[in-house]
Amino acid sequence: MTSNQLAQDQLYKIRHSLAHVMAQAVLEMFPTGKIAIGPPIEDGFYYDFDLPRPLTPEDLTALEKRMREILQGRHTFQRRELSAAEAKTLFAGQPYKIELIEGLEKGGVDEYGEPTDAPPVISTYKHDTFEDLCKGPHVANLGEINPAAFKLMKIAGAYWRGDEKRPQLQRIYGTAWQTAEELADYLHRLEEAEKRDHRKLGKELDLFSTEPDMLGGGLILWHPNGGLMRHLAEEFCRKEHLAQGYDLVYSPHIGKSTLWQTSGHLTFYKENMYAPLDIDGQEYYLKPMNCPFHIMIYQDKLRSYRDLPLRFAEWGTVYRYERSGVLHGLLRVRGFTQDDAHHFVQPEKMPEEIDFALNFCLRILRSFGFTDFTAYLSTRPESKAVGELADWHTAEAALEAALKRANLPYEIDPGGGAFYGPKIDLKINDALGREWQLSTIQFDFNLPERFDITYIGEDGQPHRPFMVHRALLGSMERFFGVLIEHYGGAFPVWLSPVQAVLIPIADRHVAYCDDVAKRLKAAGLRVEVDASSERMGHKIRLAQKQKIPYMLVVGDKEQAAHQVAVRLRSGEDLGPLEVSVFEKMALEAVVTKL
């Protein structure tokens, strides 16, 4: 185990242990309170409570103080295993724990009620006066936890077992680290993340909005600024797809139930689909995915090995049910547009097609300014997998070989593949070091069988092609949420809705600004003139707030010399430049995607 893995393992134990300490402090504050679950999570921990009154920020301060007092006791954690009857006696009066114990008793779930294949074991961990249903692990004793390196962060609502029909509990989130310096660094990153929150910037920059009450949750309204950015991104990607041999296709938003029955979605994915529409006595469903339509296009005529590979690409809008509680701006929505592609390839040509797909994904992502990638290779699950074992091994080997040839750092997730094929997930690290899932290259051994698709080989006989799903940016909504936060709204020049604003110092400079704007627009730049009566300083601050890349200030001197005084949104002053010089500089930034 590497030092980093050891540190992560210790952090896991620290966070898990602090969840227990927090639960102890909460029950001391509310002796009649009911406790639910309290797992460690990325960067911290949480615990869900059913309490006699709403928690307040002042409660968090008091709970933190009590938790530090408990830590000073340096209590050890003691584990024991119990029968179901013993556990029910121990947690009498704690209905959420009783429900979890009953789940453990039946098997198939863990102590958090999550599905598991592990054999059922009922165990508890006790420190000081507090004992909790838990499989561990924990620190050996509370002396291993730095009392200056944790903080309770916020209170939120959470439905028991994530079910909106069950009781709503109060969830306390905390964060924990090994040193006070690590905690301070994390809090600083949170502060930066808050400044970059895409929901906040989306409103400030007039990019998009949501109207849950009137329109419905998880549905996005793209405003002109956001719509232009999305158009620019999609047009760039479409041109790149066409240049690389993709065929653009379009498909309907709905399909008959027979289509979704054949594809298996009504068997395996129905809970994520919306209720059917009755049209002429037949059931139609909003599409949750584009793939069955692409397969039908493939099936429309006889295919030869000479036709392959075929690459069908579509910016297709799909609809998937998400619970209201998990909707989050652009990052978690119910209606979204995927930049979907499906590759149909001869099995023997599959390795080079994977190379192609992976390198194409990387090139497009780099064009948007992402350079820090980690790949995850998910392999065959031990059960419930379709397709021949030899095909799985061949596909997994091709995926891993492609990652090696691309010199990408990657991790293997054994058994983490879908039941229908292995996959590569490409994750990017943004400007704050946060990891985001974007591209996926996914084999599918299921749909070609279900739809019985074939091609005629060199031997004149029908053969089954390999099919690969490929999402590059993922959904346009989620990608733009990531993009907004990565750049903090200060987008590259080529994507900025307004690339330059001309700022006349006085009314007598407006006509010259209009002439310059006309010239720059003719060159292909997006330019505005701020002819308002506000002072120059106010105009500059407004342009900086709108994250406009270039502010072109014009006074008597600039007008007489046919120049503009160039300021950058960063505050840097480039001084007076000939209009032709600025034009060349701005166009170069567009072409190079700076």
* 238 Cβ contact list (under 8 Å, min separation 6): 248, 315
Query: Rounded CA gap, 203 and 189, in Å?
Result: 22
Position 462 in a domain: yes
Phi, psi of 427 (to 5 degrees): -115, 140
- Residues 238 and 306 placed together within one structural domain of the fold: yes
Annotated catalytic residue 237: no
404 is catalytic: no
Domain annotation covers residue 505? yes
In order of 78, 160, 174, 188, the CA distances from 40 in angstroms are: 18, 17, 9, 21
The number of helix segments (H) and strand segments (E) in the chain equals 18, 28
Q: What residues contact residue 431 under an 8 Å CB cut-off, 6+ apart?
A: 196, 486, 487, 488
Same domain, yes or no, for 506 and 468?
no
Residue 118 domain-assigned (yes or no): yes
Which entry of 230, 265, 320, 567 is annotated as an active-site residue?
A: 320
- Alpha-carbon separation of residue 268 from 263, 265, 316, 420 (angstroms): 9, 5, 21, 11
Catalytic residue among 75, 138, 342, 539: 342
**Rounded to 10 degrees, what is the CA torsion of 322, 325, 330, 334?**
20
Q: Do 142 and 43 belong to one domain?
A: yes
Indicate whether 475 and 566 sit together in one domain: no
- The answer as to whether 408 is a domain residue is no
The pair phi, psi for residue 458, each rounded to 5°, is -60, -25
Beta strands per DSSP E along 220-275 = 220-222, 247-248, 254-256
Residues 97, 161 within the same domain: yes
pLDDT score at 5 = 54
The active-site residue, picked from 340, 425, 430, 444, is 340
67 and 176 part of one domain: yes
Strands 373-378 and 335-345: unpaired
Q: Decide which of 443, 462, 486 is a domain's last residue.
A: 486
Listing DSSP states for 308-373 in one string gives -SEEEEEEEEEE----GGG-BTTTB-SEEEEEEEEEEE-GGGHHHHHHHHHHHHHHHHHHTT---E
- Asked if residue 271 is part of any domain, the answer here is no
Task: Establish if 292 belongs to a structural domain.
Answer: yes
Task: Output the six-digit token pair for 572.
Answer: 């840097």
Residue 479 belongs to domain with CATH number: 3.30.930.10
CATH number at residue 518: 3.40.50.800
66 catalytic? Reply is no
Residues 567 and 523 in one domain: yes
Q: Is 342 a catalytic residue?
A: yes
Q: 377: which strand partners?
A: 412, 424
User: How many structural domains compose the chain?
Assistant: 3
Q: Of the residues 94, 338, 499, 563, which is catalytic?
A: 338
pTM to 2 decimals?
0.85
Q: Do 211 and 241 have their domain in common?
A: yes
**Parent domain of 560:** 500-591
> One digit per residue, pLDDT tens: the chain, 594 residues?
344 554 569 999 999 999 999 999 999 999 999 999 999 998 999 999 999 999 999 999 999 999 999 999 999 999 999 999 999 999 999 999 999 999 888 887 777 777 777 778 899 999 999 999 999 999 999 999 999 999 999 999 999 998 888 999 999 999 999 999 999 999 999 999 999 999 999 999 999 999 999 999 999 999 999 999 999 999 999 999 999 999 999 999 999 999 999 999 998 899 999 999 999 999 999 999 999 999 999 999 999 999 999 999 999 999 999 988 889 999 999 999 999 999 999 999 999 999 999 999 999 999 999 999 999 999 999 877 888 899 899 999 999 999 999 999 999 999 998 888 999 999 999 998 899 999 999 999 999 999 999 999 999 999 999 999 999 999 999 999 999 999 999 999 999 999 999 999 999 999 999 999 999 999 999 999 999 999 999 999 999 999 999 999 999 999 999 999 999 999 999 999 999 999 999 999 999 987
Cβ neighbours of 307 (radius 10 Å)? 14
Which residues face 317 on adjacent strands? 337
452 and 542 inside one domain: no
- 178 and 230 fall within a common domain: no
Q: Are residues 548 and 444 in the same domain?
A: no
Q: Which of 469, 478, 509, 569 does the annotation list as catalytic?
A: 469
The pLDDT of residue 384: 78
Same domain, 77 and 220: no
Question: Is 423 among the residues known to form the active site?
Answer: yes
Query: Which 3 state secondary structure label does DSSP give 227?
Result: helix
Instruction: Tell me the Cα Rg of the chain.
Output: 29
Which residue, of 463, 486, 509, is where some domain finishes?
486
Q: Which of 334, 423, 567, 569 is catalytic?
A: 423
Of 48, 132, 138, 291, the active-site residue reads: 291
Residue 335: per-residue pLDDT = 96
The answer to the question of residue 398 being in a domain is: no
340 phi/psi in degrees, rounded to 5 = -85, 145
Judge whether 574 lies within some domain: yes
* Domain containing residue 44: CATH number: 3.30.980.10
DSSP per-residue string spanning 277-315: EEETTEEEEE-S-SHHHHHHHHHTS--BGGG-SEEEEEE
